[in-house]
Chains A and B, each alone.
Chain A
Amino acid sequence: MRTALRPRAGSGGGSATAPHTPEGPISTPNIAQSRPVRRPGDRLFRGAAVGSGVFIVALISAIGLFLLLQAIPSLRANQVGFLTSGVWNTTSATDLQFGILYLLWVTVATSVLALALAMPISLGIALFLTHYAPRRLARPFAYVVDLLAAVPSIIFGLWGIKVLAPTLVPVAEWLNHNLGFIPLFAEGNVTIAGGGTVFTAGVVLAVMILPIITAVSREVFERTPREHIEGALALGATKWEMLRTTVLPFGKAGYVSAAMLGLGRALGETVALYLILSATTAVPELSFFDGGATIASKIALGAAEFNNPLTAGAYIAAGLVLFLLTFVVNALARAVVAGKKEYA
């Protein structure tokens, strides 16, 4: 910047024939002078930042490309419709039969159930932490919630099937008994008493995504402008009215994108569901009390016996679908956030 402030010596003189005066260095052409100074640090940092950006995009494209290339031979050899069938029989490479339909249903069902359970609770926790809890309590409490996110998913899986599932059985039986006429709560192909149902899986997933949604929503709610809150209170709003008229509208987009982040995690969760869900060979009922496998848990189940590239390719094709699904979910979240003026 200093150079730009100096008087432009060369321009007044007009004599291009006085080159080697002590002032020579100053009389550089205009363009050079108006350009901001670049120090090595700038260049280095810019390079690092651009590099990171390019790297992550390249990495994602490489993953997508890899999945696609590995999946194509298997998709070609597939004897049934990949998107329209639900059978999964990949042991013989000469008669590959695999379809994503049932896996997709269980994946979506567990994740959506988890989201439906976790969203209201997270909202409650986030509002409590930001507006109700005493300051001294809010911090440690937030840490405790964040700690949930640090529990490995295999622990959640074991806890889910050994501890939670038996305790959930009465609840599940009650729902099935009283609401069984709704297809979502009807009896499925697996026993409710065994606990390996979409229902149990959804509840465990809900606990797993709770800290993610809570943490992000809390950050957003905390940023509600003070003036809005004080304005609402000055107008005579009660605490709940204040929350409803200022905090919630302000934080809505952030909350939704937090939920999408949680949904992304739920869709890709592997080990916990691998342990909890009971597989079935029958056509799944569109019920929370049926079993099955999600895309990710199915891959985990088959991983030990990827003996030929075609079999592996079938699972990779499933992985590709999961990849695209997560991509779409994230894109939706972006769209929701981008639609809000506050974040534009």
Chain B
Amino acid sequence: MNIKRHGAALGLVAASALLLSACGSDNNAQRGDTAAANSANVDCGGKKELSAEGSSAQTNAIQEFVAEYAHICDGFNVAYNPTGSGAGVKQFIGGQVDFGGSDSPLKESEVEKAMQRCSGNPAWNLPMVFGPVAVAYNLPGMEGLVLKPDTIAKIFNGGIKKWNDPAIRELNSGANLPDKNIVVIYRSDESGTTDNFQKYLQAAAKDSWTQGVGKSFKGDTGEGKAKSQGVTDGVKATEGAITYVEKSFADAANLGIAKIDSGAGPVELTDEAAGKAIAAAKIKGSGHDLVLDLNALYASKEPGAYPLVLVTYELVCSKGYDAETSKAVKAFLTTAATSGQDNLTKVGYVPLPQEFRTKLLDAIKAIA
């Protein structure tokens, strides 16, 4: 009943918003504003209901994109099933879904199979969703903690055990660091966040982080908690704890977020700083296959850039879709790369910088 009533109310709001915008008067329906500016670029049509599956790290972003897509292209929808990157790749290759979502680009062994799925055309990895990862801590009275990648690596592999370790004191001169044990809290479930965090440490602090990468934590220290909410709660409950978690979770729990000094001064985690790192990222893939060079991105010493971001891709066929599917996929991705980005901050992601959107749009246009 409630849903119906809300639905009716929503419908009314939408209808009146349309009416108002048609009259040329300004309206306060937020999505209406952004849509009006961008809807001209999106060529709606094709298959009404697209299906996609994969990475759970981008679920909220995709939901935002879908809401925007449904708003711009009335009656169109994308069903995204967040079952994990592995499943996303498998289902995409198997032709079960129209596009896949994954925390990592297709591996060499998968590229061949993806080509078969796309009737002999290469599949492209399009990095559409970037999640900033915070190094969040709970240390009462300590604000604006500064850490170097090297220090972070040593904390997370047990090399630094105390908050008043000289390595931390050196970076935070003047701060009152307690003689307290550092409690490292990590993700005990397999996760893309852990994978990206370890890749970051390996790239940015390769002398200190020798444990390798992977979806499970390799640091051999601390205690594990399930899911982002679990690690956030764990840090919240334990004085002296530190973890890596998506920024939105750290913000919601009011945890301290460390500034990272990659060599050009401490950088606070903001949309601009993360966007700057993304804008400077190099592309490793050829042509429109926009695989990012994560090593270069993570090791970046660019001033004012915050390079610790989780990169997730959409896996699409460059060619080989039927005409209906192709049209809808292009419409959806175009929405995602334009007005879909505008509300991403609210749900905990970094909106893509302008020049990066252009690259993505070029690739999307080239899909046939």
Question: A274 to B234, alpha carbons, bound, how many Å?
Answer: 13
Contact A279 to B241, CB < 8 A, known contacts A304-B56, A304-B84, A305-B215: no
Question: A307 to B226, alpha carbons, bound, how many Å?
Answer: 19
A161 and B86 contacting across the interface, CB-CB below 8 Å: no
B230 and A275 contacting across the interface, CB-CB below 8 Å: yes
The stretch from B39-47, B182-190, B280-288 touching chain A is: B182-190
A301 and B217 contacting across the interface, CB-CB below 8 Å: no
Residue A302 lies at the interface, judged by CB distance under 8 Å to chain B: yes
A281 and B226 contacting across the interface, CB-CB below 8 Å: no
Interface of A is mostly: loop
A305 and B86 contacting across the interface, CB-CB below 8 Å: yes
**Binary B-proximity of A107-145 (CB < 8 A = 1, otherwise 0):** 000000000000000000000000000000000000000
Question: A191 to B238, alpha carbons, bound, how many Å?
Answer: 8
Hey, which chain A residues are within 8 Å of B239, CB to CB? 193
Contact A194 to B183, CB < 8 A, known contacts A278-B223, A280-B223, A281-B220: yes
Hey, which chain A residues are within 8 Å of B85, CB to CB? 305
Hey, which chain A residues are within 8 Å of B87, CB to CB? 307
Question: A299 to B100, alpha carbons, bound, how many Å?
Answer: 25
Contact A304 to B225, CB < 8 A, known contacts A194-B234, A195-B237: no
Count of interface residues, chain A, beta-carbon cutoff 8 Å: 31
Question: A256 to B87, alpha carbons, bound, how many Å?
Answer: 45
Hey, which chain A residues are within 8 Å of B132, CB to CB? none
**Binary B-proximity of A300-336 (CB < 8 A = 1, otherwise 0):** 1110111110000000000000000000000000000
* Chain B residue, CB-CB nearest to A307: B86
Residue B161 lies at the interface, judged by CB distance under 8 Å to chain A: no
Question: A160 to B76, alpha carbons, bound, how many Å?
Answer: 43
Residue B216 lies at the interface, judged by CB distance under 8 Å to chain A: yes
**Complex partner residue of B188 from A162, A165, A282, A301, CB under 8 angstroms:** A301
A-B residue pair count with CB separations less than 8 angstroms: 81
B223 and A301 contacting across the interface, CB-CB below 8 Å: no
B225 and A301 contacting across the interface, CB-CB below 8 Å: no
Question: A89 to B214, alpha carbons, bound, how many Å?
Answer: 10
Residue B224 lies at the interface, judged by CB distance under 8 Å to chain A: yes
**Complex partner residue of A282 from B220, B234, B237, CB under 8 angstroms:** B220
Question: A282 to B221, alpha carbons, bound, how many Å?
Answer: 7
Residue B105 lies at the interface, judged by CB distance under 8 Å to chain A: no
Category for how many chain B residues contact A: 20 to 34
**Binary A-proximity of B331-354 (CB < 8 A = 1, otherwise 0):** 000000000000000000000000
**Complex partner residue of B190 from A92, A194, A275, A301, CB under 8 angstroms:** A301
Hey, which chain A residues are within 8 Å of B189, CB to CB? 301-302, 304
B219 and A91 contacting across the interface, CB-CB below 8 Å: no
Residue A189 lies at the interface, judged by CB distance under 8 Å to chain B: yes
B233 and A162 contacting across the interface, CB-CB below 8 Å: yes
Hey, which chain A residues are within 8 Å of B214, CB to CB? 91-92
Hey, which chain B residues are within 8 Å of A190, CB to CB? 223
Residue B327 lies at the interface, judged by CB distance under 8 Å to chain A: no
Question: A189 to B224, alpha carbons, bound, how many Å?
Answer: 11
Residue A202 lies at the interface, judged by CB distance under 8 Å to chain B: no
Contact A280 to B215, CB < 8 A, known contacts A195-B237, A305-B190: no
Contact A305 to B84, CB < 8 A, known contacts A194-B238, A195-B237, A196-B225: yes
Question: A304 to B57, alpha carbons, bound, how many Å?
Answer: 12
Hey, which chain A residues are within 8 Å of B90, CB to CB? 307
Hey, which chain A residues are within 8 Å of B86, CB to CB? 305-308
**Complex partner residue of A281 from B185, B219, B230, B238, CB under 8 angstroms:** B219
Question: A137 to B87, alpha carbons, bound, how many Å?
Answer: 54
**Complex partner residue of A279 from B56, B188, B215, B233, CB under 8 angstroms:** B188
Hey, which chain B residues are within 8 Å of A195, CB to CB? 237
* Chain B residue, CB-CB nearest to A196: B223
Question: A244 to B221, alpha carbons, bound, how many Å?
Answer: 51
Within B78-93, the residues touching A (CB, 8 Å) are: 83-87, 90
Within A155-201, the residues touching B (CB, 8 Å) are: 161-162, 165-166, 189-191, 193-196
Within A256-280, the residues touching B (CB, 8 Å) are: 274-275, 278-280
Hey, which chain B residues are within 8 Å of A278, CB to CB? 185, 188, 223-225, 234
Hey, which chain B residues are within 8 Å of A212, CB to CB? none
Q: How far is the CB of A289 from chain B (nearest CB, A)?
A: 12
* Chain A residue, CB-CB nearest to B192: A305
* Chain A residue, CB-CB nearest to B183: A191
Residue A254 lies at the interface, judged by CB distance under 8 Å to chain B: no
Hey, which chain B residues are within 8 Å of A301, CB to CB? 188-190, 226
Q: How far is the CB of B47 from chain A (nearest CB, A)?
A: 28
Show 9 residue pairs from A and B whose CB-CB distance is below 8 angstroms, ordered by the A residue.
A91-B190, A91-B214, A91-B215, A91-B216, A162-B233, A194-B241, A278-B234, A280-B223, A306-B86
| Seed contacts A193-B239, A308-B86; 10 additional CB < 8 Å A-B pairs | A91-B214, A166-B237, A196-B223, A278-B188, A280-B222, A280-B224, A281-B219, A301-B188, A304-B56, A304-B191
